[in-house]
Every structure is written in structure tokens, then in C-alpha cells.
Structure 1
Amino acid sequence: MNNEVTIYLGQDRIYTDATGIRQILRFYYECKVYQNYTININLDNIEWIDGNLCAFLGALMYRLSIENKLAFLMDSKQVSAKCNILFANDFLPITQNENHYKIKSCLPFRGFLPKQKDEFYNYLENDLFAHNAMPKLLPEVQEQLIDYLGEVYGNIDKHAETELPFFVCGQYYPSKNALHFTISDLGVGFFKKINAQKPINVKSCGDAILWAIAGNSTKQDAPGGSGLRNLNAYLRDNNGAMQIYTGDAGWCSKTVNSVLYPDGISLLRNNYLGATINLEFNTKNLNFRNV
């Protein structure tokens, strides 16, 4: 029987920003010191976690289960009382009599292997763009956005150097008129390949994010790199936002040109081997025709 240890998930509120990512990374590194243990995830200090961040949390837990042979437990009563979003978005399995947790604000937590292109595209069409909070986009606009997200998928498939699955999840926040969609992979991240090609210009993970956001690509045999640039441009023009976290750095379009983070880059304090992209759709102000 495995040994057991209790680890706190985080403190207060875990939001979709650098502070929230840091909290989940801290939890990951606290778990990482154990081998062949069962981790009891304690929510005593948590008041809230953004549902879409289950993509990031789930990815890190998957890596721990594979590399450190860890299993995870959560108390269902505590989840019900404090973070029932973890039931509502399928992050945690539930029994039939708990189906009242299923609420329409969630996009389900799912994992896809790098070669499961059709399954990922079906999720985009049937869960993300068909979500009740997402305005009905013109068909050509939706098709273009799916193409941009398809390039993000292609980067995971061809350049992340991993056969581990990537994870997605989403959450609608009515009070903010925002729908967040998060993709997290467990590949090599942005820096390794970009630095190999551009060692003079790209010396840090933050540099690598800025290089990719500008529309550059490491692809040798085809034009690329426009997916992130075009997604960022679309969301910016339609009052949304984008965030990227990889290695020890994060970038947020909302903080660009701010006093503290003029280039949008902040440090994560711990290293994340992989990449997480969060798209924030403004459900009130979307310009349906601009793509």
C-alpha cells in the first residue's frame, strides 16, 4: 500500500493569472519530492479556483502520476463545499446522484493525445464554439479561429517532443462577460527549440514567448507561427485577452505596456516544462466579423 501525505493545493483564490499559475506550480513541486505516494489534496485554505485552470492542474498531476508514480485523492464533501466546479467540469468523476453539479457555465476537462486531431477539433466545435455563452460567430470567422487553434495543436503534435497528452478546460464567468479556454501540454516548452535557432535573440523563456507571439516559427518546411499572433490580434481587437506560460515565464496581453510589466512578461519563480495558453473571449463585446 502506498504511503500517504497531505498537501495543500493553494491559498485563498487561484485565478487565471501569474499568481494562480505560481500557486499550482508550488503544489506540483511540493508533490514532486515524493515517489509511490498517495497525495491527499487539501482544500482547507482555498476559497476559489478558476475552473479552466483544471487543464493546467490536470496536466501537472498527470506528469506526477507517470514520473513519480503518485496517486491523488480529494475529499468529495470538501470539494462540494468549497470547489464544486471540479465536479461540474468533469475534472473529478461523480456518481449519478451528483449530476446536479453539471452546470452550463463549464467546458469539460478533457485530455487528448498529440495524434488525436479529430477529437480535438470536435471539442472545439461542439464544446467551445457551441457553448451557450459564446456568441454565434459567422461560419467563416469560426472556421478561421479553429484554424488558428489548429496551428496551436500542430505545434504540440510536431514540436513539443512528447507523446504525453495535452489537456483542455474552459469556464464562463458571467459577471466578467468572459469565457476562458485553457490548453496545457507537457512538452519541452517554447525555449528549447527557439533558442536552438535564435540563440542571440532568444536567451530566456520570456524572449521565446515574445518571439512566438510576433508570428515567428521554428518550422523549416512550411510557413508558420501565425496561429498565436492571429489569436492574439483577434482577441485584442475584440476586447479579449491571451496568456502564455512556459518555462519560468508568463506573458499576459493585458499587462503589456504596464509600469511593472511593459513587455507583458513576468517570472513564475518555478520552472514549468510544457506550455499553457489561455484565451479569454469577451462574450459581450465580440466583433463577430473581425478575424
Structure 2
Amino acid sequence: MKEYSLSNVHNDFDGYNKIINFYVEYKDEFLEDITLNINIWFDANLCSVLGSIIDKFSESLNSVNLIASDSIRKILQKNCFLLQFGYSSLSDTYHTTIKYLKLKTTDGRFFSDYVENQLLRREEFPTMSDAVHEKISQSIYEMFVNAQIHSETKNIYTCGQFFPARNTLDFTIVDTGIGFAGRIKKNFDLEISSEDAIKWSLQDGNTTKKDVSGGIGLALLKEFISQNNGKIQIITGNAFYQMFEELETFSTLDNFFDGTIINMSFKTDDSTSYVLVDELDDEDIF
């Protein structure tokens, strides 16, 4: 039996680096019993990342036993992540969790309903017109479609968490496919780094869909989150991208992640009421 500890894991470069290092430590092992001890703190939306990694281990016939400190265990029971380890679910009295889901790539309609009911219609989500609501919904759904069509992933993993003390609502989507650079290589026969692949994907109009006039997903979300003073993070290959407080930064992870992680962090203390330009009135403009 092998043991590994994940301690004090947050939605930041260091947190993602810790989880991916755990993945790389065991991804080439076979028939191993792994005990993962999670302690001190674990941002619950990162269950989407951890769930994808545990599934990758299972493909190599490795079994993972998860041990968590009491406070972390209760949150992971509330968002249903620990059901796969034999734990029961707990009632989310304070309504802070967004349910952990492992989806098939054919579950697009279910994903759309899940985003609508678990994320966009939460009372903490920034106020917006129906038109903006529809745009944001389409943008998030496009991420699912991109993973579905181009990533060659078997499953798509999602989870979220409301952090009242931080005034943030985080929502994370993960696939374990070929990554941004792999998509571009396959569709355009172009070798680029993971960092350059992220830069390319963030440009409005760029898409890996053939014979389609460009995607709106990441570019529109980036604009909305920027105005909301939130945060967007993208991890693919060995590249970590973050946009926060109008500052875009890239960092290099210790190891490669085989797939893509997209985390959206929305500020919930935002008093702006978002509308589109063609809906101009006395409200704020998106």
C-alpha cells in the first residue's frame, strides 16, 4: 500500500500543482493500493479534478482509498463526491455546494440543466438580464461541447463551491483528453506549446470546430468575469493560465496534466446588474 497526502489545497497555482503532482506520482503504476489523505483544507470544487485523476488510476487497475479530516469529509459528503467511496450523502443546510458530477460526453442536455439549476440560478450569482444569462449559459455549454467533440475524453467532470467568506462562487470543468495543444495539432497540424494553445483559445472567433465561424465560450466568459472582478483559470499540459484583477499570468507546472481544467470564479458581492449593449437603459452594461 502506498500513501500520499494532499494538504491545504486551494484554487491557485500551488493547489493545482499539488493535485497534478499526485497524479503524475502514480499514473504509470499498476495494481497499486493508494491511500490518499486530505487534510487541513481542500477547496471542494476541485473534486472535479480529483475525481478525474482517480478514474485515470482505476484504468490502470489501481484502487484509491480516501481519508479526509472531519470538516473536509462533511463538505465532500454534501457535494456527493464521497458516494463513490461508500460514504452516505449529507444535507447541505447552508446551500454552499454545487454537486459533483461525472458525465458521459453524450450527457449534454443533462449538463445544461445542471449548470442552469446549480450555478446560474443561485441567488449568489451576479444579477443579469435574460439575454446575458443566455449568453453565459451558451458559453459554459460550449466548453462541454468542445470537450465532447475534440478532447477525446471518456468523461467530463464538474463541481462547484460557494465560499461566503471570500464572496466567491467557483465552478470547475475537467476532461482527461488530449488537451488544447493536442486539439490544435490534430485539427491544424500545428505544433505549439500548451501556453500558446491557451492564448489561441482565448482569442474571440478561434475554434477547433471545422467549417464553423468561431466560438464564443472562453472569450465571452473572460470578458464577463473581468467585469465581475472574478477569476478564470485554465490548466492544460504543463501550462497554468490565470486572469485576475485585469492581470493575465502564465506559469509552468511541475508536471503535465493529460487533459484540461477550466475554473471560473465569480464574485458574489458584485452589485452590478449586467445587460447587453442593445438593452441599454439605466443599468450597467455588459
Residues 29-50 of structure 1: per-residue CA shift (max 9 Å, x gap): 222242122211123xx31111
- Aligned residue for 2:244, secondary structure, equals helix
| Structure with greater strand percent | 2
Alignment RMSD: 2.1
User: Residues of 1 paired with 2:252 and 2:74: CA distance?
Assistant: 30
2-structure distance, mates of 1:102, 1:284: 21
Q: How many Å separate the matches in 1 of 2:229 and 2:71? A: 34
Is 1:212 the counterpart of 2:201 in the alignment? yes
- Kindly indicate whether the alpha-carbon contact (under 8 Å) linking 2:126 and 2:270 is maintained by their aligned counterparts in 1: no
Q: 1:79 to 1:132 in 2, by over 3 A?
A: farther
After superposition, where does 1:121-200 map in structure 2 within 5 Å? 121-162=112-153, 164-195=154-185, 197=188, 199=190
Give 1:39's aligned amino acid: I
1:109 has 2:100 as partner = yes
Give the Cα–Cα distance (whole angstroms) in 2 for the partners of residues 103 and 153 of structure 1.
28
In the alignment, the residues of structure 2 paired with residue 218 and residue 140 of structure 1 have an alpha-carbon distance, to the nearest angstrom, of: 26
8 Å CA contact 1:38–1:71 kept in 2: the answer is yes
The alpha-carbon distance between structure 1 residues 132 and 92, as it changes in their structure 2 partners (threshold 3 A), is farther
In structure 2, what is the equivalent of residue 65 of structure 1?
Answer: 58
**Following TM superposition, by how much is the alpha carbon of 1:193 offset from its aligned partner in structure 2, in angstroms?**
2.6
- Is it true that 1:284 corresponds to 2:281 in the alignment? no
**Could you say if the C-alpha distance between residues 170 and 187 of structure 1 is closer, same or farther in structure 2, counting changes exceeding 3 Å?**
same
- Letter aligned with residue 205 of structure 1: S
Residues in 1 aligned to 2:87 and 2:26: alpha-carbon distance in whole angstroms: 28
Q: How many Å separate the matches in 2 of 1:29 and 1:178?
A: 30
Q: Return the letter of the residue paired with 2:49.
A: F
Contact conserved, 1:256 with 1:264, CA < 8 A, in 2?
Answer: no
TM-score, normalization by structure 2:
0.88
Q: Which residue of 1 aligns with 2:44?
A: 51
1:101 to 1:154, Cα distance in 2 relative to 1, 3 A: closer
Deviations 1:3-57 (A, max 9, x none): x32222x23x1111111111001111222242122211123xx311111111111
Residue 280 of structure 2 is matched in structure 1 by none
- Code of the residue aligned with 2:249 in structure 1: it is G
Contact kept, 8 Å, 2:151 with 2:183, in 1: the verdict is no
3-state DSSP of counterpart to 1:6: strand
Q: After the TM superposition, which parts of structure 1 deviate over 4 Å for at least 4 consecutive aligned residues?
A: 100-103
Q: Secondary structure at the match of 1:264?
A: strand
TM-score (norm 1): 0.86
In 2, Cα distance between the equivalents of 1:14 and 1:255?
A: 22
Per the TM alignment, residue 102 of structure 1 is displaced from its structure 2 partner at its CA by 5.7
- Whichever residue aligns with residue 193 of structure 2, its letter is S
Offset of residue 70 of structure 1: 1.5
Cα offsets for 1:164-217 (capped at 9, x unmatched) = 111000011111111000000111100023245273xx6310010011011222
Which 5+ residue runs of structure 1 have no aligned equivalent? 258-262
- The number of residues matched between the two structures is 272
Go from structure 1 to structure 2 and tell me whether the alpha carbon gap of 1:234 and 1:39 turns closer, same or farther (over 3 Å shift). same
Shift of 1:236: 0.4
1:42 aligns with 2:37: yes
Cα distance change, pair 227–82 in 1 and its aligned pair in 2 (3 A): closer
Q: CA deviation at 1:239?
A: 1.4
AA at the equivalent of 2:2? V
